[in-house]
Structure 1
Amino acid sequence: MSAQNPTPSGGPVVEGPHDPEHDPRAAYALEPEYAAALTARLVATSGQTAEVRSPLDDAPLAHIPQSTTGDVADAFARARRAQHAWSRTPLARRAALLLRLHDLVLDRQDEIIDLIQLESGKARKHAFDEPLHVALTARYYARTAEKHLGTQRKIGVVPGLTRVEVNRVPKGVVGIISPWNYPFNLALIDGIAALLAGNAVVIKPDHQTMLSALLGAELLEQAGLPRDLWQTVAGPGSEIGPALIEKADYVCFTGSTATGRSVAQACADRLIGCSLELGGKNPLLVLRDADLEKAAEGAVRASFSNAGQLCVSMERIFVADQVYDRFVERFVARTQALTLGATLEWGNDMGPLISQQQLDAVTAHVEDAVAKGARVLTGGKARPDLGPYFFEPTILEGVTPDMACFGKETFGPVVSLYRFQDEADAIARANEGQYGLNASIYSQDGTRARAIAQLVKCGTVNINEAFAATFASLDAPMGGMRESGMGRRQGAEGVLRFTETQAVATQRLIRFGPQFGMSDEAYAKVMNANLRLMRKLGRA
């Protein structure tokens, strides 16, 4: 594995104080005016700021103004006033805004990618996934707006005389708590669906990646989003999160299962809905007939994309005994060929972890496993020579239930290998634990793999692919089973969650009760006769 010296790539960044020819961790910094323009969009009056430092080199990036609980209340008040008018805006106009956002994201993607890398440290090819997915989401929901949100006709109780329509009424103001691992993408994809459905949004991004989320807010404004419909607040989750939930009409949260439980309980207390994408200990199955080159390539992406800091990444790989040794040889070789570096340029395969806290957690999992007998096939240690938070992509063998990384989410570039003798055993082991977010199956028999997929307790299952097939298929829902969450983003469910369902029925000519002098008993007989007739005619 090798490191590359970072070089400026344009956009909102300038080279920092280090000399790149003498220091492999040459720093980057944001133009102060650029950061100030973004943070001006915050609703924050506390007078306090929080410093943000780049995981690429631990150099300061910006000072983020902090919000008070009063600022959260003010943000919701503004958003609620704006939402009344927005909910009456024709659906076609809301959809047109998303198409303009699509174009702006593509036009400014280099700037977006630079900022994502500066805040999160991820490799450029993984940062590229974020504007790509936002553009895909915006275009998908714009093109399917009428299909998902238009008034729909339903079958009335009396055909021809009962007209029934179903409307989708916006919830009101949606509260979003977004994470640091996909700071631009996850700050926008839920929110733009909520906007399309006629809602306003108040969002609290993670403190580490606030600027990427604020750039998304700027692009929405440039696309023509009316003032005050999108409000951003900043501050500690323990203070600002509860204040946001207290005011919201619906909550979207992406993060840990422990925090997700608290969010769900707070929403339940208020009888409001929520959608939660939480933790995972995702399994990948390599069946005996798998194409081993494809499986090894996919396993590398599945395990080490964004340094393993991806909710749908794989942390457990189950390999059929018949092909285990050949797969491991290929997987280890591909992993050892990965290039690590703290750079904004294309070419690296993996960047650093987000913080010292994340590095400590990953290191603790690996050290615990090794101390209890696990074998390191490659990797296994931090790389401070590359940057402050680098950890080598690591493959473990011989992991047992008494090791922390067996069942707990590592959320880093660490994966464990397991042999299996028969597929029933592999399925049972893949379903162990409390999580159920994403799975992957490699087999050249698609029919058999799809049958196995139905037995795996995960919200998404990819066949002959790591995670991108489901993640990028916007017409399909995405989310977790069991303790990996509730609700879905993407597809019809991803936008309908932000609406209330309203049924409107118009009755003509007859009423539901005796008429023309008919007795109650006679009316009951007539209705029974009609039921039998409808049954014979095959009507609903």
Structure 2
Amino acid sequence: MSDKNKVEIRNPANPSQIVGSFPTTPEGDVSKMMETARKAQVAWAKVPQPERGKQLDAFLNGLEARLDDIATSITREMGKLLGESKGEVNKALGEGRAMVRRSSAPIGEVLPSQKPDTVVYSTRRPRGVIVGINPWNFPFSTPIRKTIPALLFGNAIVLKPSVSTPGAAFIMQEVADATLPKGLFQIAYGSGGLGTALTGAQGVDAISFTGSVGTGRIVAQAAAANLTEISLELGGKNPVILNDATDLDAALDQIYAAAFAVCGQRCTAISRVIVRRELEAAVVDGLAKRARAANPGDGMDAATTLSPLMGKTALDDVAGFVDRARAAGANVAAGGERIDQNGGYFYAATILSDVTANMEVAREEVFGPVLAVIAYDDIDEAMHICNDIEFGLAACLYSEQTPLVDRFIAEVESGMIHVNCGSFPEDHAPFVGVKNSSLGVGGSNGPSTLHFYTQEHTVFRKGKA
């Protein structure tokens, strides 16, 4: 295959290093891939669901055997710390196994009939062929979140990894070829034109997309043209309200970790600390000390605690947010500068104080190592700041006051609600958002996956037993 049909991947910590080269999928191959997927899916749907679960266990075991290869690929391609990459792989395998344990769970219900000698019940069938479009920041866990429920419930899947971080998906293909029926799992790798071809292809029964709001809108439009079922997992501007804490240092440790893991390049990363004014100075000081202690470097180096950003565009975007925040009156308590190291895309861990709720940095997703601190005087103000944005993915509260906790759980406009803990989801729990953070039935983790990856049918059966 000629070089023009391959994509070279470079290390974001040192862009002079080429860490991989991967073959692209011609857009003209999409229709054939759909035919292959449909043929495999028809046969797979006839396999009893518990047996499908057993085969998926073998698939997950095969992936676990490649854990080091997958984690190394993730770190070399997108920069995150090797420990974070191994954590991603382990967590994804845990999520996959939690889903497989649902292989014998009920998939319908019996209803009372209005007529004698009649049974009414609902059941569910596989949708068919799923297209899964994935982001660059979690190149293994997001594909697993789409692949395992899709296959468990009897579908085939065509998976498009990010053009920037394909290595993990190609390893998934190798393991799938060794453990699953041919054609059931396929990788389609390429740039935006390939994504357009996939989302608009005939024979696609559902599309699961994870990425930006802007691209999500494009995917939704493509799906609407064919009336294709969609699940969109989009951006976030995740707040923590810090009202009171028995151990402030422990709370700040958790908040800092939730904000700066993966260099802030997580859709569930904390990016706003909405703090009671009496605690503002201590919180800014504590977070700034932690940020100044960060050690930027290559994710393969065990001494590194702050990984690079994904690329030059990401670095320029983050720097622009901070520069505009300064101009708007925010104070840089720590960081606020690019870091010159091997030509890598490094930006210092940054704490912004004196931020007001109407500033851009308090409302828009930065997707980098920037944490904005906003003070409030009463809880009504805090809740307003928390909810007055377009996103609603994850939100946190630190408080030991039961009435406040109850109010937060009842009123916060967020799909995932954390109390006295950071914004890290658990393996078996639904990963959900509201507002512009999500569209459609949840497509990853938990019981709601059944509703996306299957179609409901109602049966009316008359006749005496």
1:432 maps to 388
Structure 1 residue 162 displacement after superposition: 2.3
Cα drift, residue 51 of structure 1: 1.9
In the TM superposition, what whole-angstrom CA distance separates every residue of 1:392-447 from its partner, at most 9, and x where no partner exists? 11000123466432321110000100111111110111011211111111122456
Q: Are residue 90 (structure 1) and residue 65 (structure 2) matched? A: no
CA gap 1:46/1:168 in 2 versus in 1, 3 angstroms: farther
Counterparts of 1:107-126 in structure 2, within 5 Å, are 107-126=65-84
SS at match of 2:347: coil
One of 324, 337, 345 as aligned partner of 1:368: 324
Identity %: 31
Give 5+ residue unaligned stretches, structure 2: none
Who wins on radius of gyration, i.e. which is larger? 1
Match of residue 305 from structure 1: 261
Please identify, of 439-448 and 409-418, the stretch whose mean Cα deviation from structure 2 is larger.
439-448
Q: Structure 2 matches for 1:397-436, cutoff 5 A?
A: 397-400=353-356, 403-436=359-392
User: Which runs of structure 2 are paired with 1:317-396 in the superposition (5 Å)?
Assistant: 317-385=273-341, 387-396=343-352
Aligned residue number for residue 495 of structure 1: 450
Q: 1:244 aligns with which of 174, 186, 198?
A: 198
Secondary structure of the structure 2 residue equivalent to 1:180:
coil
| Pair 1:325–1:400, CA change in 2 (3 A) | closer
Change (3 A) 1:74 1:290: farther
| Alignment deviations for residues 290-329 of structure 1 (CA, whole Å, 9 cap, x no partner) | 5312220111111101000000001111011222222222
Deviation at 1:335, TM superposition (A): 2.2
Measured in 2, the distance between the counterparts of 1:354 and 1:282 equals 20
Whole-angstrom distance in 2 between the partners of 1:296 and 1:477: 26
**1:340-395: CA deviation from partner (whole Å, max 9, x where unpaired):** 22141444322101111100100111111112321100011111226510111100
Larger mean CA deviation between 173-182 and 317-326 belongs to 317-326
The residue type equivalent to 1:480 in the other structure is G
Q: Select the residue among 120, 133, 153 that pairs with 2:91.
A: 133
1:233 aligns with 2:191: no
Q: CA separation in 2, counterparts of 1:262 and 1:434?
A: 18
> For the residues of structure 2 that align with 1:97 and 1:482, how far apart are their CA atoms?
37
Q: Secondary structure at the match of 2:8?
A: strand
Return the match for 2:438 from 461, 485, 489: 485
Tell me the secondary structure at the aligned position of residue 416 of structure 1. Answer: strand
Q: Larger RCO: Structure 1 or Structure 2 (Cα < 8 Å, ≥ 6 residues apart)?
A: 2
Which range moves more in the overlay, 134-143 or 401-410?
Answer: 401-410
Q: Secondary structure of 1:201's match?
A: strand
The superposition leaves residues 439-466 of structure 1 with CA deviations (integer Å, 9 ceiling, x where unpaired) of: 1111224563243122110100111111
Aligned match of 1:465: 421
**Partner residue of 1:453?**
409
Give the structure 1 partner of residue 9 of structure 2.
52
Question: Structure 2 vs 1, CA of residues 155 and 401 (structure 1 numbering), >3 Å: closer, same or farther?
Answer: closer
8 A contact 1:291–1:442 mirrored in 2: no
In the alignment, the residues of structure 2 paired with residue 77 and residue 359 of structure 1 have an alpha-carbon distance, to the nearest angstrom, of 41
CA contact (8 A) 1:119 1:212 kept: no
Q: How far is 1:101 from its partner?
A: 3.0
Distance 2:378 2:357 in 1: 20
Q: Which amino acid in the other structure matches residue 48 of structure 1?
A: N
TM-score of the two chains, using structure 1 as the length reference: 0.81
CA distance in 2, matches of 1:47, 1:349: 36
1:473 Cα deviation after fit: 4.2
Structure 1: 5+ residue runs without aligned partners? 1-43, 511-540
- Residue of structure 1 equivalent to 2:25: 67
